[in-house]
Structure 1
Amino acid sequence: MAPGGYFGAALVLDVSAAGVEVSRDELGADVLRSYLGGVGLGTYLLQRLGPAGVDPLAPEAPLAFVFSPLVGTPLTTSAKFAVVAKSPLTGLLTDALASSQFAIAGKLTGHDALVVRGRADDLSVLLVDAEGARVEPAPELAGLSAAAAEEVLRTRFGRGWRAAVIGPAGERGVRYATISHDGRHAGRGGLGAVLGAKNLKAVLVRAAGKAAVHDAEAVLAAARDLRERSFGPATAKYRELGTLANLLAFNAVSTLPTRNFTAATFEGAPKLAAEELHELRLVARNSCASCSIGCEHIYSRKGGGSQRMEYENVFALGPMCGVSDPDDVFAASAKCDELGLDTISAGGTVAWAMECAERGLLDEPWLRFGDGPALLRALDAIGARSPGLGELLAEGSRRASAQLGQGSEAFAVHVKGLELPGYEPRTMQAMGLGFAVNSRGADHNRSGAYEADLSGDLDRLAGAAPHVAAAVATEDRAAVMDSMILCKFLRGVFTEPFAEWANLLRPVTGWDIDADELRATARRIVDAKRAYNLREGATAADDTLPPRILSEAVAMSSGREARLTAERLQSMVAAYYAARGWDAEGRPPTDVASATSV
């Protein structure tokens, strides 16, 4: 019998010309307790069910939709799921979290994960419910945005079905295409391209029944307490201004990457700031499914309509590309949603192309920093994979720079192939370490080391031992939150996080779990991610930062220059390995790989 909150199995769906072959992969209580769900369980499943060295876009490459024990409970922010696969952008593990009713309906098909393999002959949709699974052709969805496709699917199958859908970019194999649902996105690493390579426009799920918990009354009491705490000061910023509140704050402390990381401040930041837009353009606030925080802020667009805006899409399509007109940034963000593009990788890749064009390395004289219409034109080319520029940029900045050559690799700003989010590593050196060692590549969600940089408790311009400790600690906390799964915006609500998370898991699962066990679980999950990447060819040499970051200083508004040398970074990486108990080549203990593939 499965623990409370679980069904004890993953449903494996092999799609082919003949339809779909369905099998159950039993998940014992020991596996569930070891990896929890979400990203942790997804890593275990990928190691177990994915062939070593597989091409991420090959039919046999698995794509896993993974749920958690908390999904379907009244605990706030728990309606989340993870999508886990080998990334076509990095060639390594990628996982993305998203919130929507898809999470609840997907779990309530009676499974802890849905693992998709194979390839349909024609563009199709995959439907899964308690009665089984089937594939149906859907040629009419070709070229539609995710939102438009969802409308068609609701009409065709009924509102009882919840859909995870790709846009045109996913169909065309753009290596940073997203999977979308209810207007939200599993964004990073090209998961949409993986689904598109299987000739699936959408996966639809329909709920049936409930997932039993161990102590329903105790779960309800915990949910009431967490909901009340979620309205406190720790989440006030997100409720009042959303994540876009970071823009002016980051600009003030010279950590807002600008024009492809050639600067750390942006003169046009005030025009894009939440404070300005809140007064002039805010039309609504919204929440994810089962969320009491309500961080989503929706702004009016020029010419009508509205757009959800967050810090990362504004950074990537604004300062990163030198664009300060909010109408252009809003339009670019809407374009990425329509095409199904990760805004961070899209903005980072276009910014690299703008620099190439300005240096005369690309024969695209129209492509210049600060030109909003040029940004929109480039995004259209990417989404269409149009010959020339579109095909080049659809590959991401690492592959594009390798193809273009001419020294352009030196200013392609990525880690392991994943473009950097909106944090300047030279002025946030704990975060710089977090980017370098992270399993997903440059990432601010799986390593929250920026919290230490912004705390004032350490010198963020001089990475050393305290920065290493911060990187390890925030990565461990993220590993548990991403596997339970809970929203990161709740992190400030917990004063003793591991103990408090154990208190949430006990009444759901019935496990006698405590803080020490969860700390060990966090380390196990981080080690398992590392073991998977090593199996796929990663080495210690990949744990680094872009040449631009390690060879060029960046000016700060204070008049100082910030610099992060390769030697300093290498010293922090070595200390990070030691803190994790890995060897000098970044290899976890030898029993980790076998433990994740049993």
Structure 2
Amino acid sequence: MVAGGYFGRALVVDVGGSTATGTALELDDRVLRGYLGGVGLGTWLLHRLAPPGTDPLAPAAPLAFVFSPLVGTPLTTSAKFAVVARSPLTGLLTDALASSRFAIAGKLTGHDAIVVRGRADELSVVLVDADGVRLEPCPELAGLPAADAETALTARFGRGWNSAAIGPAGERGVRFATISHDGRHAGRGGLGAVLGAKNLKAVLVRAGTKAAVADAPAVLAAARDLRERSFGPATKKYRELGTLANLLAFNAVSTLPTRNFTAATFDGAHRLAAEELHELRGVARNSCASCSIGCEHIYSRKGGGSQRMEYENVFALGPMCGVSDPDDVFAASARCDELGIDTISAGGTIAWAMECAERGLLDAPWLRFGDGAALLRALDLIGSRSGVGELLAQGSRHAAGVVGGGSIDFAPQVKGLELPGYEPRTLQAMALGLAVNSRGADHNRSGAYEADLSGELDRLDGGDPHVAAAVATEDRAAVMDSMILCKFLRGVFTEPFDEWAALLRPVTGWDVDADELRATARRIVLAKRVFNLRAGATAADDTLPARMLRTPLQLASGRAATLTATTLQAMVDGYYRARGLDAAGRPDPAALPDLLLPDPHPADPQPADPA
């Protein structure tokens, strides 16, 4: 008997030529309970379906859209899904979360995940519903932004279908291309390039069934309670100003990366701050599907129109590139959406290129910090993969390997993924989290900055407390990203593992408790690391750019923020011990059976039953 909230199967869609076939991969209760859904189940599926050594952009490389037991319930923020694949940017396991109606419709096709493999002969879309799978050509959509493609697909197939689509950058194989839906993006790691390599413009889903829960009245009661708590002080910042509220706060404590991490404060920060933009340009608030928080803040753009702005895209396209004009930053963010590229990787790669140009390492004299027109030009070149854009479309790590001249030392990346808007030298728990995370430089799978900014440890002096904080936040993220719940709810839970177990019990019918969820978190984190080790990762990858480890930051207080290689390595060693890893970052073989990992390709999935 399948637990509540699940269907007990993934749909494996094989695309070839002008057709697509679907086969069912059964998921037993042990796997579902051991990995939950979302990022956790996606990790298990990649272990099961990704042939070792397969290039991320090869037809055989699987791309998984993974749902969770909470999707389709009235629990706030639960309309989320994960996209999981091997990243063409890093070569490692990557995942991206997004909220939209696609999550609900995708699950209600009757599957806990939809995995796509193969390649179509011409640009096409895959359609999945309760009746099966089909492939439809769509050459007329070539080059369209994802939003325009979604509009065209709705007109063609009907309003009952929900699309996850790519923009022109995904079609052209930009290695940090996104997958978009409802104006939101599965952004990091180049998942749009993976879909584009399959010659697919979009995956469409249509609901056709229901997912039963074990105790519907209890789920409804839990949903009412969580919704009420979601209006409390823990989410006030997101409701009133959105994530952009972080900009001035981070600038004040010298943790706002500026001009490719050469500084941690930005003189023009006030021009981009939520407080000022809210008064001058704020036009609306919006919410993701099934969300009661409403963190989206939408601002008017010069010349008409509006743009949703978040901290990360403002940081990456503003201070990181030295650009302070909000019109330029708004236009750049809109251009990223139109092209379908990750704003963090785009901004980080362009900032690196700006520094290379100023050092004479890159023949692009027009590319200068603070020049909004240059920023927009660079984005267009990346999207078209022309001129210097052909190099930058590969990301900063690959580009530094081509340019040389020591530019890898200031390429703002970990494991190939560009750093988010957190200065590691002034947030040293976060520094560890960025260094060891399986996805690369990432703030969503390792939110250790929370501990740095809590005042409970010295954020400028990394040590054992920072290790404990990094492990704890990584564990919490693993569960939230697998259940799936929005991270903006994290402050709502006072005893998170207990409270998450209380949400799972009435949905699934399992007698799950906090200790089991802690073990689940450790399993998911370790399974990711095992995948990456098999993909060629080593302990040498668990580090930060040389700039962060060699160059102190002078703070306004007069104190220097210094993070040495010795300090970071001591924290990495402590992290390994806490995770039960050896000195090379490898797990004890005795721990592997608990991961419940299958051998890749133990047997072919069986044909799906349309009923």
TM over 0.5: yes
Corresponding residue of 1:323: 323
Q: CA 1:559–1:214 in 2, change beyond 3 Å: closer, same or farther?
A: same
Give the deviation of 1:299 after TM superposition. Answer: 0.1
Instruction: State the distance in 1 between where 2:24 and 2:555 align.
Output: 56
Contact 1:126 1:204 in 2 (8 A): yes
- The superposition leaves residues 121-165 of structure 1 with CA deviations (integer Å, 9 ceiling, x where unpaired) of 000000000000000100000000001101100100001000000
Corresponding residue of 2:604: none
Corresponding residue of 2:468: 469
Instruction: State the distance in 1 between where 2:176 and 2:564 align.
Output: 29
Corresponding residue of 1:570: 569
Question: Which secondary structure does the structure 2 equivalent of 1:455 belong to?
Answer: coil
Corresponding residue of 1:280: 280
Instruction: State the distance in 2 between where 1:40 and 1:189 align.
Output: 17
Contact 2:549 2:565 in 1 (8 A): yes
Instruction: State the distance in 2 between where 1:499 and 1:349 align.
Output: 41
The answer to whether residue 390 in structure 2 is matched with residue 391 in structure 1 is yes
- The superposition leaves residues 158-177 of structure 1 with CA deviations (integer Å, 9 ceiling, x where unpaired) of 01000000000000000000
Instruction: State the distance in 1 between where 2:54 and 2:159 align.
Output: 36
- The superposition leaves residues 417-461 of structure 1 with CA deviations (integer Å, 9 ceiling, x where unpaired) of 000000000000000000000000000000010000000000000
Question: Which secondary structure does the structure 2 equivalent of 1:426 belong to?
Answer: helix
- The superposition leaves residues 2-33 of structure 1 with CA deviations (integer Å, 9 ceiling, x where unpaired) of 10000000000010014112110000000000
Instruction: State the distance in 1 between where 2:280 and 2:65 align.
Output: 39
Corresponding residue of 1:503: 502
Q: CA 1:289–1:335 in 2, change beyond 3 Å: closer, same or farther?
A: same
Q: Give the AA of the match of 1:198.
A: K
Give the deviation of 1:407 after TM superposition. Answer: 1.6
**Which ranges in structure 1 are unaligned for 5 or more consecutive residues?**
none
Corresponding residue of 1:103: 103
Q: Give the AA of the match of 1:328.
A: D
Q: Give the AA of the match of 2:347.
A: G
Question: Which secondary structure does the structure 2 equivalent of 1:52 belong to?
Answer: coil
Corresponding residue of 1:72: 72
**What pairs with 1:454-493 in structure 2 (closer than 5 Å)?**
454-493=453-492
Instruction: State the distance in 2 between where 1:596 and 1:146 align.
Output: 35
**Which ranges in structure 2 are unaligned for 5 or more consecutive residues?**
600-611
Instruction: State the distance in 2 between where 1:324 and 1:298 align.
Output: 19
- The superposition leaves residues 67-108 of structure 1 with CA deviations (integer Å, 9 ceiling, x where unpaired) of 000000000000000000000000001000000000000000
Give the TM-score normalised by structure 2: 0.97
Runs of 4+ in 1 over 2 A off after TM superposition: 591-595
The answer to whether residue 87 in structure 2 is matched with residue 83 in structure 1 is no
Corresponding residue of 2:549: 550
Question: Which stretch shifts more, 298-307 or 354-363?
Answer: 354-363
Instruction: State the distance in 1 between where 2:431 and 2:14 align.
Output: 40
Give the deviation of 1:596 after TM superposition. Answer: 1.6
- The superposition leaves residues 311-338 of structure 1 with CA deviations (integer Å, 9 ceiling, x where unpaired) of 0000000000000000000000000000
CA RMSD of aligned residues (A): 0.7
Contact 1:95 1:189 in 2 (8 A): yes
Give the deviation of 1:558 after TM superposition. Answer: 1.8
Question: Which secondary structure does the structure 2 equivalent of 1:104 belong to?
Answer: helix
Give the deviation of 1:472 after TM superposition. Answer: 0.2
Instruction: State the distance in 1 between where 2:556 and 2:150 align.
Output: 46
Instruction: State the distance in 2 between where 1:463 and 1:457 align.
Output: 13
Question: Which secondary structure does the structure 2 equivalent of 1:119 belong to?
Answer: strand
Give the TM-score normalised by structure 1: 0.99
Give the deviation of 1:559 after TM superposition. Answer: 2.4
Instruction: State the distance in 1 between where 2:14 and 2:284 align.
Output: 42
Instruction: State the distance in 2 between where 1:540 and 1:495 align.
Output: 35
Give the deviation of 1:592 after TM superposition. Answer: 2.4
Contact 2:18 2:135 in 1 (8 A): no
Instruction: State the distance in 2 between where 1:28 and 1:364 align.
Output: 55
Q: Give the AA of the match of 2:519.
A: A
Question: Which secondary structure does the structure 2 equivalent of 1:96 belong to?
Answer: strand
The answer to whether residue 368 in structure 2 is matched with residue 361 in structure 1 is no
Give the share of equivalent positions with the same residue, in percent.
Answer: 81
Give the deviation of 1:293 after TM superposition. Answer: 0.2
The answer to whether residue 10 in structure 2 is matched with residue 10 in structure 1 is yes
Question: Which secondary structure does the structure 2 equivalent of 1:267 belong to?
Answer: coil
The answer to whether residue 223 in structure 2 is matched with residue 238 in structure 1 is no
Question: Which stretch shifts more, 555-564 or 363-372?
Answer: 555-564
The total of aligned residue pairs comes to 597
Contact 2:9 2:24 in 1 (8 A): yes
Contact 1:321 1:350 in 2 (8 A): yes
Contact 1:265 1:557 in 2 (8 A): no
Instruction: State the distance in 2 between where 1:423 and 1:556 align.
Output: 15
Contact 2:12 2:114 in 1 (8 A): yes
**What pairs with 1:200-349 in structure 2 (closer than 5 Å)?**
200-349=200-349
Q: Give the AA of the match of 1:430.
A: A
The answer to whether residue 523 in structure 2 is matched with residue 533 in structure 1 is no
Instruction: State the distance in 1 between where 2:541 and 2:405 align.
Output: 22
**What pairs with 1:398-437 in structure 2 (closer than 5 Å)?**
398-437=397-436
Instruction: State the distance in 2 between where 1:241 and 1:560 align.
Output: 31
Instruction: State the distance in 2 between where 1:428 and 1:408 align.
Output: 24
Contact 2:126 2:202 in 1 (8 A): yes
Give the deviation of 1:481 after TM superposition. Answer: 0.1
Question: Which stretch shifts more, 580-589 or 228-237?
Answer: 580-589
Contact 2:31 2:596 in 1 (8 A): no
Q: Give the AA of the match of 1:211.
A: A
Give the deviation of 1:255 after TM superposition. Answer: 0.1
Instruction: State the distance in 2 between where 1:346 and 1:316 align.
Output: 8
Give the deviation of 1:485 after TM superposition. Answer: 0.1
**What pairs with 1:185-196 in structure 2 (closer than 5 Å)?**
185-196=185-196
Corresponding residue of 1:152: 152
